[in-house]
C-alpha cells in the first residue's frame, strides 16, 4: 500500500486497472455526524445529471457504475470508470459534517483507494483543517487518461453548499435535512459569540445584506489587499485599517471555504502575510515601521494583483477580493491589463477608496471595455466609522451577485 499526501496527482493506470472496479473507502473518527457524497460532474465541473450525485438518499447511479455502501462515518464506494457515460468527466468524493461541529474537530480522516492488493492511502487529522463544514477528499478525473488527485481541501457550508457549488438543485421537502442545512448558517452567530464576541454586532447587518443580495448560500474564497504606502500611515496608527479587517472577518467566515481569508500588503512591492482567522484577526495589522521599511513607500498594486491571480486562477470556487487603498497606483496600464486578463478567471475584485484622494484608474476598472466579463467594482469610503454596517456590507456586495450569475453562465465558475 502506498501512502500519499495532500496534493498528490497521478494516473489511475499507474496504480490500478481503470477498466476494472476500484473501491474508495472513507472513514472519519470524531464526535460529529458525517455524510459523504460523490458528485459526477461534466466538463464544466457541474452536476448536469443529478443521477450521478451519489449520497445517503441515492446510493447508486443508473447502471451502478458508482455504488455507495454504508453510511455516516464509515462508507465505501465501488466505482467502474469504464462504464461511466461520456458526459461524466470527474468524480468528486466529499465528506461533510451535519450539525454545529466542523472538520477541524475530527480526530482522523482516512481515505483509501484499492483494487486487489494495490492501494493508495491518505490520512489526515483535524489539524489539517480549520472551521470548514466539509472536505473535498479525492477527485478522479478524465484528462487524456483517468487520473486521481488527493485534493483534501476544506469547504465551508456543508453538503448544501457543495451541492450549490456543483450546480445541483436542493430538494427542501425533507424536513430533517433542511433543519441540518439551516443549522450551519445559524452557527456563524454562535461561533462569533463564542470566539469573538466583540464582533457579534456585525452579524445581523451582514446577514441583512447577504439576504438582500441572495448570497446566504454562496461559497467563495476571500482575500484582502491593503495599501501600505506612506500616506496610509495615519490609517494604520489610528486603527482604521484594523477596523476594516474586523468588518471582513464575519464575511469571510460566511463565505470562505476554510473560514479564513488571505491577506496581502502592497507598497512598492507586495507581501503575502499569514492568513487571517477569527483567532488572529486582532493582530493582523503588524508594526507599521517594519512594514514600511520593507514593502512600503509608493503605491504599486500590480505585484499584488499578479500574486492574487496566480493564487486563484485555477480555483474550483470563486474568489472575492477586496482591495483597500487611499490613492492612485503606479503602473496603471499594467493593472488595467491584469484585471482585464483576470476576467477569464473565477476572481471578483472589489476596490475601496479610503483616502478622499485621486484614485486614478481604479475608478475606471468597473466600466473599462475589452473584458470577457465585468469583474470589478469601486466605491469610495470616506469614513468607515460613519457609515451604517448594513449599508457598508451592501456596497461591498453590490456587484458580486451579478458577476456570479454571469460567470456561471460563461462557465468561469
**C-alpha grid cell, residue 53:** 450525485
* pTM for this prediction: 0.58
The CATH 2.60.60.30 domain(s) of the chain lie at 2-177
The C-alpha atoms of residue 275 and residue 260 are separated, in whole angstroms, by 7
DSSP H or E run through 109:
strand 108-115
Provide the pLDDT for residue 202: 92
Nearest to 164 by CA among 34, 37, 32: 37
In CATH, which of 2.30.30.280, 2.60.60.30, 2.60.40.10, 4.10.520.10 is domain 2-177? 2.60.60.30
CATH 3.40.50.410 in the chain is located at 196-409
CATH topology of domain 196-409: Rossmann fold (3.40.50)
| pLDDT in the model for residue 112 | 94
The DSSP call for residue 328 is: P
Alpha-carbon dihedral 192, 233, 221, 32, rounded to 10 degrees: -30
Buried residues in 120-143 as b, exposed as e (16+ CB within 10 A): bebebebebbbbbbbbbbbbbbbe
C-alpha cell at 263: 491577506
Helix/strand/coil for 169: coil
How many residues are recorded in the chain? Answer: 413
β 74-79/22-29 pair status: antiparallel
Q: What pLDDT is recorded for position 257?
A: 47
For the chain, 413 residues long, give each residue's pLDDT as a single digit of tens.
Answer: 788 888 888 999 999 999 999 999 999 888 778 888 999 999 888 888 888 999 888 889 988 999 998 877 788 999 999 999 999 999 999 988 876 678 888 888 999 999 999 999 999 888 887 777 888 889 999 988 999 999 888 776 667 777 777 876 554 444 333 333 333 334 577 778 878 889 999 999 998 999 888 888 788 889 999 998 888 888 888 888 888 889 988 998 888 745 678 899 898 888 888 888 888 888 777 666 676 666 667 788 999 999 999 989 988 789 999 999 887 888 888 999 999 999 999 999 999 988 766 788 888 888 888 899 999 999 988 777 788 899 999 999 999 999 998 998 888 88
CB-based contacts of 309, cutoff 8 Å, min separation 6: 338, 341, 342, 345, 347
The rounded distance, in Å, linking the Cα atoms of 322 and 284 is 15
Rounded distance, CA 34 to CA 393, Å? Answer: 33
Q: What are phi and psi of 128, to 5 degrees?
A: -80, -5
Contact 115, 56 (CB under 8 A): no
**Angular region, 266: left φ>0, alpha ψ -120 to 50, beta rest:** beta
Supply 157's cell numbers: 457550508
Rounded to whole angstroms, how far apart are CA atoms 133 and 97? 6
Torsion sign (Cα): 291, 264, 196, 98: negative
Amino acid at each position: 500500500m502506498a501512502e500519499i499526501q495532500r496534493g498528490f496527482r497521478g494516473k489511475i493506470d499507474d496504480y490500478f486497472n481503470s477498466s476494472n472496479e476500484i473501491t474508495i473507502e472513507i472513514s472519519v473518527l470524531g464526535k460529529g455526524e458525517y455524510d459523504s457524497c460523490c458528485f459526477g460532474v461534466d466538463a464544466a465541473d457541474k452536476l448536469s445529471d443529478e443521477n450521478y450525485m451519489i449520497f445517503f438518499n441515492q446510493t447508486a447511479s443508473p447502471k451502478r457504475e458508482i455504488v455507495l455502501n454504508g453510511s455516516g462515518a464509515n462508507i465505501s464506494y465501488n466505482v467502474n470508470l469504464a462504464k461511466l457515460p461520456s458526459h461524466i468527466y470527474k468524480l468528486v468524493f466529499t465528506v461533510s459534517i451535519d450539525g454545529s461541529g466542523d472538520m477541524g474537530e475530527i480526530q482522523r480522516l482516512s481515505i483509501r483507494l484499492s483494487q486487489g492488493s494495490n492501494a493508495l492511502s491518505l490520512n489526515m487529522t483535524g489539524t489539517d483543517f480549520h472551521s470548514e463544514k466539509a472536505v473535498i477528499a479525492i477527485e478522479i478525473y478524465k484528462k487524456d487518461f483517468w487520473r486521481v488527485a488527493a485534493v483534501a481541501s476544506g469547504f465551508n457550508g456543508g453538503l448544501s453548499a457543495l451541492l450549490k457549488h456543483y450546480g445541483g438543485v436542493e430538494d427542501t421537502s425533507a424536513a430533517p435535512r433542511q433543519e441540518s442545512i439551516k443549522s450551519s448558517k445559524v452557527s456563524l452567530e454562535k461561533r462569533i459569540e463564542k470566539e469573538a464576541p466583540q464582533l457579534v454586532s456585525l452579524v445581523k447587518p451582514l446577514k441583512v445584506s447577504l439576504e438582500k443580495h441572495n448570497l446566504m448560500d454562496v461559497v467563495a474564497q476571500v482575500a484582502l489587499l491593503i495599501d501600505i504606502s506612506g500616506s496610509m500611515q495615519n490609517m494604520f496608527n489610528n486603527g482604521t485599517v484594523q477596523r476594516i479587517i474586523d468588518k471582513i472577518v464575519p464575511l469571510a467566515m460566511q463565505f470562505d471555504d476554510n473560514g479564513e481569508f488571505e491577506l496581502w500588503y502592497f507598497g512598492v512591492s507586495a507581501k503575502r502575510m499569514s492568513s487571517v482567522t477569527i483567532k488572529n484577526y486582532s493582530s493582523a495589522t503588524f508594526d507599521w515601521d517594519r512594514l514600511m521599511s520593507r514593502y512600503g513607500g509608493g503605491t504599486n498594486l500590480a505585484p499584488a494583483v499578479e500574486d492574487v491571480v496566480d493564487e486563484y486562477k485555477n480555483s474550483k470556487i470563486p474568489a472575492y477580493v477586496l482591495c483597500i487603498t487611499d490613492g492612485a497606483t503606479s503602473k496603471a496600464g499594467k493593472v488595467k491589463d491584469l484585471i482585464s486578463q483576470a476576467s477569464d478567471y473565477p476572481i471578483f475584485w472589489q476596490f475601496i477608496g479610503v483616502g478622499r484622494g485621486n484614485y486614478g484608474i481604479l475608478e475606471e476598472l468597473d466600466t473599462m471595455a475589452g473584458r470577457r466579463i465585468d469583474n470589478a467594482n469601486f466605491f469610495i469610503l470616506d469614513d468607515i466609522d460613519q457609515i451604517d454596517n448594513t449599508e457598508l456590507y451592501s456596497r461591498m456586495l453590490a456587484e458580486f451577485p451579478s458577476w456570479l450569475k454571469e460567470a456561471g453562465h460563461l462557465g468561469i465558475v
